[in-house]
Each structure stands twice: as C-alpha cells, then as structure tokens.
C-alpha cells in the first residue's frame, strides 16, 4: 500500500508570510507579486480604496 502524499505547495502570503488558507489575488494596480491572505488583502483594499463616502447632502442649505 502506498502512502500518497499530495504535495500542495504551501503558498504564503507575500506580505505577512503566513500560510494561506485562502488565496487572495492582489489587484494589478497594487503592484504586488504573489498571493495575499485575507487580512492583508482587506488591508490593501482599505489602503487603496479608503472608505470614500460620497457627500450626501440631505439638507440643501443653498
Ligand atoms: Zn498576509
């Protein structure tokens, strides 16, 4: 009986070097090579796309 070992390349987050449970692919404009973990991905999302709240003027005081 053979022991079959599936070698899954243990990819690591390119930023924090932690093993990836889920791979997130960085956006092209982030200029990041490799994969990101969820934490770094959301961090980057936040860095590049900070919560832009469109100005909503409910009260028009013009
Ligand atoms: Zn990470």
Summarize pLDDT for 28-40 with one digit per residue, the tens.
Answer: 999 999 999 999 9
The CA 7 to ligand 1 mean position distance, Å, reads: 22
The whole-model pTM stands at 0.65
Distance 29 CA to ligand 1 centre (A): 18
Give the pLDDT score at 1. Answer: 64
Greater confidence (46 vs 10) lies with: 46
Domain count, the chain: 1
Q: What's the gap in Å between 55 CA and the centre of ligand 1?
A: 33
Q: Which residues span the domain enclosing 32? A: 11-50
In a domain, 2, yes or no: no
DSSP code per residue over 1-62: -----------BBTTT-PBPSS-BPPPGGGT--SBB-HHHHHHHHHHHS--------SS---
Say if 6 falls within a structural domain: no
> Is residue 16 assigned to a domain?
yes
């Amino acid at each position: 009986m053979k022991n079959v070992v599936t070698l899954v390349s243990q990819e690591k987050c390119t930023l924090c070097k932690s093993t990836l449970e889920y791979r997130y692919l960085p956006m092209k404009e982030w200029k990041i090579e490799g994969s990101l973990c969820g934490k770094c991905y959301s961090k980057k999302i936040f860095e590049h796309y900070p919560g832009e709240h469109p100005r909503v003027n409910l009260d028009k005081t013009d």
